[in-house]
Amino acid sequence: MASATATIVQTVTQTVSVSPSATGSGDRAPAQGGVFEGLNPTHYDTKNPITLFVIQAILVIALTRILHWPLSKLRQPRVIAEVITGIVLGPSIMGRIPGFTQHIFPTASMPAFSLAANLGLVLFLFLVGLEVDLRFLVSNWRIALSVGAAGMALPFALGVGIAYGLFHQFREESGMEPISFGIYALFIGVALSITAFPVLCRILTSLKLLSTPVGVIVLSAGVGNDVVGWILLALCVALVNSGAGLTALYILLVAVGYCLFLAYGIRPVFVWILRKTKSIENGPTQGVVALTILLVLASSFFTNIIGIHAIFGAFMVGLICPHEGGFAIKLTEKIEDLISTLFLPLYFALSGLSTNLGLLDNGITWGYVVGVTAIAFIGKIAGGTVASRLNGLVWRESFTIGCLMSCKGLVELIVLNIGLQARILSTRTFTIFVVMALVTTFATTPLVVWLYPPWYQEKLELWKKGKINWDGTPLVATENLDQHPDQETDAASRILVYLRTDGLSSLFTIMSLLTGSRQKSHQRHIKVTEKRLSGNYTEDHLYFQRPLRVHGLRLVELTERNSSVMKVSELEDYASRDPIIKAFGSSVYGTARNVTMSGQTAVVPNHSFANTLVQRAANSRSQMILLPWSETGTVSEVPSSFDQALLGANIDPLANKDFERLVTSVVDEARQTCAVGVYMDKSLLRIGSTGGGTASSPVIERATRQLSRTWTGVSMPDIHEDAGMLFRSSDCHGESQIRVLYTSNPDDLFAVRLALQLAKNGGVYVKIIEVVSVLAGTSNPPLGSGKEEHTSLRGLVTGLDDFSKSFVTIEEVTAGSTTDPEVLDKVIVNGPSETGDVTVLVGRGVHTSTSGSVASSTIVEKNNVLGPVAIALLARMKETKVAANMLVVQARMSAKGTEHGQGKVVAVRQESLHDS
């Protein structure tokens, strides 16, 4: 017993006292102390590869974003920054630092890095397939077939020619598979003839060419070019993997059969599942997203094991996904961010890591760099230009299409990487083609801007419509043929409305004034008809009422996301589903009469919002752009919870620098195109926080939610039924009151004309406060005296019919300044017999400096967007706690600074085009 005890004690002692080095490495738990136990983060551990991978990913993503910032100012796609990042981190630059590659990108770590990059590539090719809408190709198949075929045939033929020299010059280099010249020539031809559809779509959008004939042709041809290019690439890879003979034929037959199986077997079942789960109407559910990813991975697995690259299977699954109901866009939004921000930069960085500019070390190599780049340009530009010219386009349009088709972008780099992995290309030839891809992609945007500038597009459009000769000489009268002689006093019969989610309630209010309700318009029609039948109406007084034409424009910001580009390519379908356009159109059309409604969506960069509004107004010949003031405090339509939490309830939507810049850009650019109106609802003023509203301006304050003790001793929230937003209709508490503050500047005259137009709808009472300034004891002559009819205040009122004239009153006020408190009070405060909401029309007036009509310089400096008088009115409203709606207008001005008729716009443009 004693010996047994001694043996046990000895065994335990030996076990405890054994040194750590004596134990097997497989029996000991890995160190958990990290760097505190001497861990080297840059040492690659096959059992824990995440540490070094994180370092690699951080370097790639951060450097890509840093390089993309200056390149984005030159309108360059992000793929250029991603490839340059790889070149910088690769052997060309950072790899020359001793120890950098061995510690950051060691050879042992590249399989894991390549796995993540290729997984991202598979998912990205699925997104590329989603972007390709075959319906677009079918609808424009004739011109797409001709331009696409010519744009591929010529560079393919030239590529086969230069492939002969490349093959015999570099075929002995290490890393190349012993393949025949035919396979090599096929690959080079594909590499030189392919076009990057995703990058192409983004360039067209940023240059605002998507809706032009150039954009339609390029997109149609790009879709066909993309599909044919991937098929030829799959054929090339199949030939490389199989060698030749029957094996290659088997691979191609199986691939064709698989494509048919996906199209006619898998797709109907997939669409049925989407309809059952209502994923088409409401967006993909999580289960549908999982099912789609499984299809992508399974398809990639199948095409990979039969000898075709895995990306072809992912691309095919993207093609079979439906585009109806915006399903493709919604699915892309679910998965694109992680792919584009993490996986895709890794893949293109991998391309850069395989690029060694140091191998371009002799004259013959640089000769091939120049030759390959020249063929890539000449082949695509010449092919696309000739085909476009044969389809009836002018030479400059045709050259623009050829330049756009020469864009290589990320698709070219994917093709090159496949060639490098399949050992069709050596590292030297791979580097030659990467340089070509970067040069052609970088040059596309500057070439298009030079060949097809906006002034030329406008001239070409007028020439095609037969309005000018090629030298810019007008061929037809430029007066507005749609304007009826009896409508001269109408300030705006065609209006472009900027549709915003947060501004819908404001837009409904102002549109109800512009259109009039069906009931009021019907009553007015009955009274006018009765007067005409009784003989009290002459033909001179008869008002011919044409429909008010309202065009709503919804602006969606173009971002770097693929889904944003897809919205552009599917713009017609996307606009028809937009709920804001539907809500605005149905509301206005349902409550008004004599209104023609239309709606449109534009996906443009944020900095192009103002220019887009002005251009669309010019194209639709709108007489006024109507802008609702932002209620969110930013240009974005979504309120910022951070700003609200930071500033609390004291946040002022009017103190909005971002939106001020947008409005300033619009009023400046539209000065010679059309009038501009900026509408602010009284709810934006936040008046009545202490004392509530007044009878003339009911601003009702809601009690805040507070915790109150109950008899149970538990704090409960004090919830009121009216805790939500409160909406009131102006029809419930009186007629609409329009007040116009009139001084001697053109903007005020336009405000009067617009107010008189509102009076014609019936039920809208207009009160014009005419300010006569007194300086040094003398008064200005009465405004309107000695002026022609329709060009002065009283001339405009005299031109109204008797029924409309009964709703208009003019009140003269003598004051030292327009911003005197007694003048402002007459504008915002209801009189004893007046009821209803007040809407103030005031001219912006910042372009004139008339005595007595300009506020103090402090007010002007505070806000030069709305104008001095509007700012003074806003300040007076807050001081007196009386709120009113406000519409600040700026009249369209001629080159000499005076207001003129809408019909002279075309003449002004034609003159500028002729000078160009």
| pLDDT tens readout for residues 722-766 | 444 444 444 444 577 888 888 878 888 888 888 888 887 766 888
The more confident residue out of 783 and 11 is 11
Query: What H or E segment, with its residue span, contains residue 359?
Result: none
Pairwise pLDDT comparison (174 vs 105), residue with the higher score:
105
> Quick one: average pLDDT of 12-36?
52
- Return the pLDDT at 534: 54
Cβ(675)–Cβ(491) under 8 Å? yes
What pLDDT was estimated at residue 267?
93
Residue 498: strand pairing partners: 553
pLDDT tens by residue, 697-730: 334 444 444 555 554 555 544 444 444 444 444 4
Predicted confidence at residue 307, as pLDDT, reads: 79
Residue with tokens 């000895």: 10
User: Residue 67's closest CA among 44, 89, 91?
Assistant: 89
pLDDT-wise least confident of 55-64, 347-356, 512-521? 512-521
Identify whether the C-beta of residue 771 lies closer than 8 Å to the C-beta of residue 740. no
pLDDT band per the 50, 70, 90 thresholds, residue 10: low
pLDDT, mean of residues 160-184 = 84
Mean pLDDT of 459-477: 74
Supply the pLDDT for residue 296: 94
**Model confidence at 857: pLDDT above 50:** no
The whole-number pLDDT of residue 907 equals: 36
Question: Which of 7-16, 199-208, 874-883 has the least mean pLDDT?
Answer: 7-16
The confidence score (pLDDT) of residue 573 equals 65
Quick one: pLDDT at residue 330? 87
Q: How confident is the model at residue 485 (pLDDT cuts 50, 70, 90)?
A: very low
392-416 core/surface letters (b: 16 or more CB in 10 A; e: else):
ebeeebbbbbbbbbbbbbbbbbbbb
Which spans in 2-109 are helix H? 2-17, 50-73, 78-89, 100-104
Q: Which residues contact 271 (CB under 8 A, 6 or more apart)?
A: 322
Residue 246 DSSP SS3: helix
Residue 19's pLDDT is what?
Answer: 44
Residue 703, Cβ density class (10 Å: 0-12 exposed, 13-18 middle, ≥19 buried): exposed
The per-residue pLDDT for 371 is: 92
Q: Which residue has the higher pLDDT, 47 or 713?
A: 47
Over 70: is that where the pLDDT of 495 sits? yes
Element (H, E) at 279: helix 279-282
**What's the half-sphere exposure (Cβ side, CA atoms, 13 Å) at 497?**
30
Residue scoring higher pLDDT (265 or 671): 265
Note the pLDDT of residue 390. Answer: 85
Q: Say whether pLDDT at 787 is over 70.
A: no
Asked if residue 615 has pLDDT above 80, the reply is: yes
Q: Say what the pLDDT of residue 454 is.
A: 80
Top pLDDT among 676 and 208 is at 676
Q: Please name the residue ranges forming H helices in 609-745.
A: 609-619, 641-647, 657-669
**How far apart (Å, rounded) are the C-alpha atoms in residues 408 and 422?**
20
Per-residue model confidence as pLDDT tens digits over 217-227:
887 787 777 77
Q: Which residue reads 């050829």 in tokens?
A: 402
d(CA 267, CA 247): 28
Q: Which of 581, 517, 509, 592 is nearest to 549 (CA)?
A: 592
Of 494-508, 517-531, 620-634, 866-880, the range with the lowest mean pLDDT is 517-531
Please give the pLDDT value at position 790.
46
Average pLDDT over residues 143-170: 86
Q: Is 38 helix (H, G, I), strand (E, B) or coil?
A: coil
Range 456-465 contact pairs with CB under 8 angstroms and sequence separation of 24 or more? 456/396, 456/916, 457/212, 458/909, 458/913, 459/913, 459/916, 460/394, 460/396, 460/397, 462/906, 462/909, 462/910, 462/913
Q: Residues 6 or more apart from 266 whose CB is under 8 A from it?
A: 295, 320
The residue type of 316 is M
555-600 tens-digit pLDDT:
888 777 777 777 766 666 666 677 777 777 776 665 556 677 888 8
Confidence of residue 855 (pLDDT cuts 50, 70, 90): very low
Residue 400, amino acid: T
How far is residue 228's CA from residue 729's CA, in Å, rounded to a whole number?
59
Helix, strand, coil percentages, rounded to 5, for the chain: 60, 10, 30
Q: Where are the beta strands (DSSP E) in 594-719?
A: 595-604, 624-628, 675-680, 707-709, 715-717
What's the whole-number mean pLDDT along residues 864-875? Answer: 83
pLDDT surpassing 70 at residue 351: yes
Torsion-angle region of 676 (φ positive above 0: left; ψ -120 to 50: alpha; else: beta): beta
Q: What percent of the chain has pLDDT over 90?
A: 7
Predicted local confidence at residue 681, as pLDDT = 84
pLDDT at 242: 66
- Average pLDDT in the 82-108 region? 85
The pLDDT score that the predictor gives to residue 589 is 60
Which of 91, 135, 219 shows the shortest CA–CA distance to 568? 219
pLDDT per position as a tens digit, 200-209? 777 776 777 7
Q: How far apart are alpha carbons 830 and 838 in whole angstroms? A: 8
CA distance 496 to 886: 18
Q: How far apart are CA 557 and CA 444, in angstroms?
A: 23
d(CA 134, CA 118): 26
Q: Note the pLDDT tens digit of each residue in 382-398.
A: 888 888 888 888 888 88
Element (H, E) at 740: strand 736-742
Distance CA 33, CA 818 (A): 76
Q: Kindly report the average pLDDT of the chain as a whole number.
A: 74
**φ, ψ of residue 277 in degrees (nearest 5):** -90, 0
pLDDT beyond 90 at 295? yes
What pLDDT, in 10s, does the model give residues 304-324?
A: 888 788 888 888 898 899 888
